[in-house]
Amino acid sequence: MTHVVPAICEAEVELPPVSTTLIWQYGGCHYKAKRWSEAAEWYIAGSHQLFGSHGLLSSSKCFWKAALCYIEKREYAQESTVIHHCPTNEVTTHYVIFLTAVHQAIQAINDMQKAPDFDCKMLMLATHISHQSEMRTVLLSVLEGLLKTLKMGSSGDVVVQAMTLIRCIVKLILQPAPS
């Protein structure tokens, strides 16, 4: 099978648009069923130059969809490999890169808390950076992480810290997103 597609390309065979649409639909069905690997494979297949002649389905769209599948699977290295095939001057490429960065940032916050040498100061730095960058999702994750690290007891300082964090979390959740 690996020799068939290149042979068809070399023969300059024109495939009907239906074949391209079917590949996209197969990928879509797998995506809806949350079978991310299969969906990514179909989208990557649809990016082949054999299907590039049809305006309905560009290789960039296929790579973007494949990248989204890898993000859903939390396979960011795979996503990074796929997204490098996309044009760097298109907004969707940058959106997918941003989406990956946000997911990785949240994962890093969770991993940071599990590290044996964990220091709450690192979460405070992450809070400061995410607040300055106006990254609400990351900031919310960091604040929740800070709340989890507090040692609840009879100390009045800890209670004040917990209440402050809860107030910030609630305010962040209820605050309308900037437009």
Same domain? 64 vs 111: no
**What is the DSSP secondary-structure string of 65-124?**
HHHHHHHHTT-HHHHHHHHTTS-TTSHHHHHHHHHHHHHHHHHHHHHHHHSTT--HHHHH
Same domain, 4 and 81: yes
Structural domain of residue 133, as residue ranges?
A: 88-179
Give, in order, the Cα–Cα distances in Å from 31 to each of 25, 34, 72, 89, 119.
Answer: 10, 5, 10, 26, 39
The domain boundary residue, chosen from 65, 86, 107: 86
Question: Are residues 132 and 81 part of one domain?
Answer: no
Of the residues 86, 115, 130, which one is the last residue of a structural domain?
86
> What average pLDDT does the chain have?
82
Domain count of the fold of the chain = 2
Percent of the chain topping pLDDT 70: 82
pLDDT in tens, 157-166: 888 888 988 9
Same domain, 78 and 97: no
142-157 pLDDT, tens digit each: 888 888 888 766 677 8
For residues 63 and 117, membership in a common domain is answered with no
How remote is the C-alpha of 36 from its chain's centroid?
13
Q: How far apart are CA 124 and CA 139, in angstroms?
A: 10
